[in-house]
Amino acid sequence: MPELPEVETMRRGILGAVGGMIESATRCESPRRTIRFEPPWPALGQRLQGRVIRAVERLGKRVVVRLDTGEALVFEPRMTGLVLVDEPPSREHLRFELRLAGCSLACVRYWDQRGLGSVSLLTAEELAARLGPPKLGPDALAVTADTLRDRLHASRRPIKVALLDQRALAGIGNLYASEILHVAAIHPRRSAARLTRDQWRRLHAAMHAVLEEAIRYEGSTLSDGTYRNALNQSGGYQNHHRVYDREGLPCPRCLSNLIKRIVQAQRSSFFCGSCQR
């Protein structure tokens, strides 16, 4: 967490920064674990001063701010990072702030409770080397059904684990992998190499449907309340989860079986044993 829908919501939340000039970049004082800046502070802040924001994009689970120099400011939220335009959930976890002029936003902030995320300013060459093929697979929202199968069908890993491989497919994490497999009626333990063509077709359709629905609801804010959109408001997709974190509750599809939980690659997988044989 955050995964593709949450990061896409962050991206859309700061689109008003496009065309703005960076008046100042500030590293906020925090008593918590220091996040990684690249280049190290204060060089990062100095290089950002006076730059104009040309575009705001997403690469997998990262927000990418394109600058007039051809460089890219990359926010990687990891577990608890947020990209905000409003007041943060708490001041002590505020890590970084851009003050803007000439656009509809006054500022863009980066907040990170656990301090596992990072803020990096990369040249075009550095960005391609780190986040281009083969480091990062095609985006889960843009990939075709044929490409999805081509990327994963040779893997002997369980399909749930294969979906989490960012080199093969970018953007899907633990939460949405469980949701997608339930909609596609595929058991999370089934080997990717054993999926039929019809199952690949169902998986692709379910992936797009679940991710697009989650984006409409601006992502999932779980029980810890950490994830917030750019305006520091909760997402809404947690109210529509079919299986994730619903162990012991009735399956919303068949209504006759209870959701089960297993552990795969040190992560919890949730599924219905009847709908996902």
Return the active site residues.
Answer: 2-3, 61, 267
Q: Would you state the structure tokens that stand for residue 9, as one six-digit string?
A: 């919501």
Integer CA distances (angstroms), 257 to 66, 250, 275, in order? 48, 6, 9
64 backbone dihedrals φ, ψ, rounded to 5°: -120, 120
Residues 230, 234, 238, CA angle at the centre, nearest 5°?
130
Which amino acid is present at 200?
A: W
Integer CA distances (angstroms), 70 to 10, 117, 136, in order? 22, 23, 20
Strands 36-38 and 118-122: parallel
Structural element, H or E, at residue 176: helix 174-184
